[in-house]
Amino acid sequence: MTQVGIKGPYQDSAYAVYVQGLSHDPVDGETRYFGMLPRIPNATAANNKIYIRVSGMIRRVEIYCFSATASGTNEAWSLYIRVNNTTDYLIKTLSVNTSERVFSNVNLAIALIDGDFFEIKMVNPVWITNPQATYFGGYVYIE
């Protein structure tokens, strides 16, 4: 787990876990997962686990997405925090026609205990024009 020396209002310390998804071409209607490993998001859940070793609360998530080819018709694209491969918490749904997207949620309160894990879940719409060469990078902030 990558930690950053940040002070938060709920504890003496907090940290950011960095997440990434390497270049891929999203497929219509597919669900994919990614975590902190430098790999292509894959269709199998619980293969990109980020384990929690200190109980805390996910407070915010910022994930930047860039596609070389933008989706052409504003279909709704959603990202979630998936905890213990059972519970999904929406980060953001975006319906935009652009190469750059920021999936951001600064109002989360997702409780985690030692031994829990999470990953990022992406639910692809059916696009008229699929994005191509898509990358994800960002962080999950835990207090």
Q: Bigger pLDDT: 74 or 107?
A: 107
User: How many domains does the chain divide into?
Assistant: 1
Residue 10 is assigned to a structural domain of this protein: no
The mean per-residue pLDDT over the stretch 127-132 comes to: 89
Per-residue model confidence (pLDDT) at position 2: 47
Structural domain boundaries, residue 30: 15-142
What would the pLDDT profile of 17-72 be if each residue is shown by its tens digit?
999 999 999 999 999 999 999 999 999 999 999 999 999 999 999 999 999 987 66
Residue 3 is assigned to a structural domain of this protein: no
β-pair partners for 78? 93, 123
Per-residue model confidence (pLDDT) at position 4: 47
Residue 8 is assigned to a structural domain of this protein: no
* In the chain, % of residues over pLDDT 90: 82
Positive/negative CA dihedral, 57, 60, 64, 65: positive
Residue 2 is assigned to a structural domain of this protein: no
C-beta atoms surrounding 125 within 10 Å: 19
* CATH number for the domain that contains residue 111: 2.60.120
